[in-house]
Structure 1
Amino acid sequence: MKFYYFLLLLFLTNISVIAQSEKNIDKQSILWTRYYNQLLFDEKWSLHSEFDNRLFLKPLQENVFVIRVQGRYKINGHLETGVGFAYFSVDTQIPEVNLDFNIPEYRGQQDITWKEILGKFTINQRFQLEERFIQKATKEKLLSGSTFSWRFRYRIQADYTFWKKENQLLKFVLSNEIMFNFSKNRIKNTFDQNRIYTAIHYGMNKNLALELGYLNSFQRRASGVDFFDRDIIRLSIFHKIKRFKKV
């Protein structure tokens, strides 16, 4: 029953976003590739790091390079929390426009994640808050100072394991995430974006996994009336390193 609740919430969230759409929509195709590392210190504490490169496909052009680091703590079997930092180097958001410089963004993040296992299903809900510092810039150069805004993100995700053998597994992933901006200068674009993601996740062993998925990102631009509609292919490598042995 809880899984049907997840599907209903996924559908209603997406409908609310579509209702806000305008006519000025820029369609884009992007490839995201990432390496995600989990360094486990014990049963509760871990350090997660992520390297993510995003590349426009039509035309071929760098979009964004991302580095994330966060410490995570498992509160119990259902709840965990994390605090981290991210660095973004933005080459361009429009592949036809290639600036001579990259725009940096520095971002703090805090989240709490709830998980429940229902047979072959795993349901995750993540509530995340971000503090975004984006370097000021014109079309010609970077400026001193930065703009600041808060962003709230809510993601609900379901994983279904349909094959498992010893230390290997194959599962289907489905998620929906919605994001909202909060600041004095974000009156027109409080709604930031909605992301729908589906993927196949292959666990090669206990410590290494591959994931190939499709993500649709529908994002409001700074103007408040224009949107990006992005078709994204995402390839991920998950690598887990344990620094302890179970007793």
Structure 2
Amino acid sequence: MKHIKFLGLAMALALYSLPTFSQNIVNNEIGGWIMVFNRIRFHDKWSMHNEVQDRFYDVAGRGEQLLIRTGFNYHYSDKLWLTAGYGYIENYPTTDAGGRKVVEHRIWQQGLYFHALGRVALEHRGRLEQRFVGDRYRNRIRYRLLATLPLNKVRMQPKTVFLAAYNEIFFHFEDQPYDRNRLYGAIGYQFTTSTHLQAGYMAQNFANVTKGYLQLMLTSNLYLLGK
């Protein structure tokens, strides 16, 4: 029964997202994201999250956004992690003429819940954000459902080729609630227990326009506890 409920939630999210992606799809400009993630486990119950993301308007490398985010994870259990942290974001204008860089300071809290359906590993992420964007303040909530499927192994382990997919939806508490939706698919390789690489494609719907982004993501974690 639990499996049926989770599958129903995933299908509902996908169906909810389809109308947004049918509006004004942008086909002539593909953006790019390069991302590096790191988690430092220094205690049975605590770890530190770090990430840097460089985002581009197009494959020529015209800068769109630089995001630096850090935080501390509390490992309540193997299946539930709680996090609080800070993010620094620089948003660049779409053109060189008449625009200016906008800096955002972001405080965020999240919960991560992990479980599996057969060979598929599922991750539920709910996140709250308090955003100081230039001279504006906004509150945002977001939810992501991520699925990971190992292809050449039964479970994720070193030397595993895998597929990953997620859908994430964002809402503001103020004025117009809907902010954006992201739909993502990728193929990846798990080099070691702590390091993997993903290459994928994300379609983001924002302001009634859907735009595609090529993504490259490296995750390399550090475990400081004794074996």
TM-score (norm 1): 0.81
**Out of 137, 144, 154, which is 2:143 matched to?**
154
1:168 aligns with 2:159: yes
- Aligned match of 1:234 in 187, 190, 215? 215
Q: Structure 1: which 5+ residue stretches go unaligned?
A: 136-145, 221-226
Alignment CA distance shift 1:16-1:59 (3 Å): same
1:214 pairs with one of 194, 201, 220:
201
Structure 2: distance between partners of 1:98 and 1:194: 29
- How many residues get paired? 224
Higher Cα Rg: structure 1 or 2?
1
What secondary structure sits across from 1:157 in the alignment? Answer: strand
Offset at residue 243 of structure 1 (A): 1.2
Residues 1-247 of structure 1: pairs in structure 2 closer than 5 A = 5-19=5-19, 28-57=29-58, 60-92=61-93, 94=94, 96=95, 98-99=97-98, 101-135=100-134, 146-164=135-153, 167-183=158-174, 187=175, 189-220=176-207, 227-246=208-227
1:91 touches 1:99 (CA, 8 Å); kept in 2? no
Q: Determine if contact 2:81/2:113 at 8 Å carries over to the other structure.
A: yes
SS of the residue corresponding to residue 145 of structure 2 reads strand
RMSD value, Cα? 2.4
Shift of 1:42: 2.5
For 1:1-26, what per-residue CA distance to the aligned partner results, in whole angstroms no more than 9, with x for missing partners? 75665454334324334446796666
Distance 1:68 1:98, change over 3 A: farther
The answer to whether the 8 A contact 1:120-1:161 is kept is yes
Higher strand share: 1
Q: Deviations over 1:20-62 (max 9, x none)?
A: 6796666642100011111110232110110100012266521
Secondary structure of the 1:10 match is helix
Please give the alpha-carbon distance, in whole angstroms, between the structure 2 residues aligned to 1:99 and 1:201: 40
Alignment-mate amino acid for residue 13 of structure 1: L
C-alpha distance in 2 between matches for 1:60 and 1:98: 17
User: Secondary structure of the residue that 2:62 maps to in structure 1?
Assistant: strand
Name the SS of the counterpart of 2:152 in structure 1.
strand
Gaps (5+ residues) in structure 2? none
1:161 shift after superposition: 1.5
